[in-house]
Amino acid sequence: MKIIDVPVPGGPETLVLSERPIPQPKAEEVLIRVAAAGLNRADILQRRGNYPPPPGAPSYPGLEVSGTIEAAGEAVTEFKRGDRVCALLQGGGYAQFAVAPVGQVLPLPDNVDLIQGAALAETCFTVWSNVFMFGQLRSGETLLVHGGTSGIGVTAIQLAKSWGARVIATAGTDEKCRFCESIGASLAINYRNEEFVAATLKATQGRGVDVILDMVAGDYTARNIEALAEAGRLVVIATQGGATSTIDWLKIMRKRAVLTGSALRPRPTAFKAQVKQALLEHVWPRVRSGALRIIIDRTFALSDAAQAHRRMESSEHIGKILLTMGE
């Protein structure tokens, strides 16, 4: 089968088309004939050599795919050959075939196109676990989402809105801000020319927000704490602005704020299987009803993976970038 390999860390040009044997599923795994793979920011870090795959994972990139079941391990009863699915992987999605633990595989709703389905897994697992499980967002509360037009951001905005929360987002251009508002944010702040703390406090009459989904960290942490309401929760999922922050504990104590964060990829399959059940119960009905729309920026052929990475690194995209496998 064809795959995209990264023989040496570096720029997009280090992504090369290569060949591997088709992997074989273990007892509780399925083999997926991949229709499309979703791109994630983590793939860029892996390509640069800054995010090595966990032990046992394929060496080549790709954290999520859509496709059809080609074969199932002997303990799998949930899926049969030909079923349309999407799956969260520990790696190896940039390939014509991929193996996934059954606890990380979900059936595609009928209204989701086989290619578009590749945009679902990573964003839904990440947003559900961070905003709803760890952040405990409730209906009637306010969520601040940084990076509102990222793959993660567009999912967080729509899910939180459909949950009955009010959503404020940040993004790096006015066009992106208008997009965030078109999918459910009541306010989007262009963080390049407006201070998000002041804008957030103004929009909440000085109260602040209940939950923040942050992918920046660094000097954002102190500012996020300023923007939190009493008993607010800050959930950090990436450190694009730096992994260390200086914070004022008195402000945390006064607000009884909760600071947390998580990384999905190294979590055990048992945890991901729990999230899968929650997605089937709470998120898949919203995909079926159209409350959660899949937002695709562009699709590229597998052989054009380097171009797809350049697109993501340009940060011009809105929503998900996909790689398609063709026939």
Residue 312 interacting with ligand NAP (CB under 6 A): yes
Residue 145 interacting with ligand NAP (CB under 6 A): no
Minimum CB distance to ligand NAP, residue 2 (Å) = 23
Contact 36, 118 (CB under 8 A): yes
One residue of 215, 279, 305, 308 binding ligand NAP per CB under 6 A: 215
> Which one of the spans 1-9, 68-76, 235-243, 274-282 is the region binding ligand NAP (CB under 6 A)?
235-243
Contact 209, 167 (CB under 8 A): no
Cα–Cα distance between 239 and 147 in angstroms, integer? 12
Residue 104 interacting with ligand NAP (CB under 6 A): no
Minimum CB distance to ligand NAP, residue 81 (Å) = 30
Q: For residue 29, how many C-alpha atoms fall within 13 Å in the half-sphere facing its CB?
A: 15
Minimum CB distance to ligand NAP, residue 233 (Å) = 15
Q: How far is CA 130 from CA 17, 50, 100, 134, 156, in A?
A: 34, 23, 22, 5, 10
One residue of 4, 42, 169, 212 binding ligand NAP per CB under 6 A: 42
Chain length of the chain: 327
Strand, helix or coil at 209? Answer: strand
Cα–Cα distance between 6 and 64 in angstroms, integer? 17
Residue 238 interacting with ligand NAP (CB under 6 A): yes
Task: Give alpha helix (H) positions in the chain.
Answer: 41-47, 121-127, 151-162, 174-182, 196-203, 220-227, 249-255, 269-278, 284-289, 305-314
Please, which residue, 159 or 238, has the CB nearer to ligand NAP? 238
Residue 237 interacting with ligand NAP (CB under 6 A): yes
Please, which residue, 18 or 262, has the CB nearer to ligand NAP? 262
Number of residues located near ligand NAP, criterion CB under 6 A: 28
Please, which residue, 78 or 226, has the CB nearer to ligand NAP? 226
Residue 228 interacting with ligand NAP (CB under 6 A): no
Residue 128 interacting with ligand NAP (CB under 6 A): no
Residue 240 interacting with ligand NAP (CB under 6 A): yes
Please, which residue, 73 or 241, has the CB nearer to ligand NAP? 241
Q: For residue 119, how many C-alpha atoms fall within 13 Å in the half-sphere facing its CB?
A: 24
> Which one of the spans 68-76, 87-95, 233-241, 270-278 is the region binding ligand NAP (CB under 6 A)?
233-241
User: What residues from 254 to 293 belong to the interface with ligand NAP (CB under 6 A)?
Assistant: 262-264
Residue 135 interacting with ligand NAP (CB under 6 A): no
One residue of 67, 93, 151, 208 binding ligand NAP per CB under 6 A: 151
Backbone angles phi, psi at 150, to 5 degrees: -70, 165
Minimum CB distance to ligand NAP, residue 62 (Å) = 12
Cβ count near 271 (within 10 Å): 16
Backbone angles phi, psi at 299, to 5 degrees: -115, 145
Residue 176 interacting with ligand NAP (CB under 6 A): yes
Cα–Cα distance between 7 and 181 in angstroms, integer? 41
One residue of 133, 172, 258, 310 binding ligand NAP per CB under 6 A: 172
Residue 90 interacting with ligand NAP (CB under 6 A): no
Q: How far is CA 51 from CA 84, 173, 286, 309, in A?
A: 30, 28, 32, 15
Tell me the DSSP string of 104-164.
Answer: GEEEPPTTS-TTGGGGTHHHHHHHIIIIIIIS---TT-EEEESSTTSHHHHHHHHHHHHTT
- Residues of this chain that bind ligand NAP (CB under 6 A): 40-42, 122, 126, 146-147, 149-153, 170-172, 176, 191, 215-216, 237-238, 240-241, 262-264, 312, 315
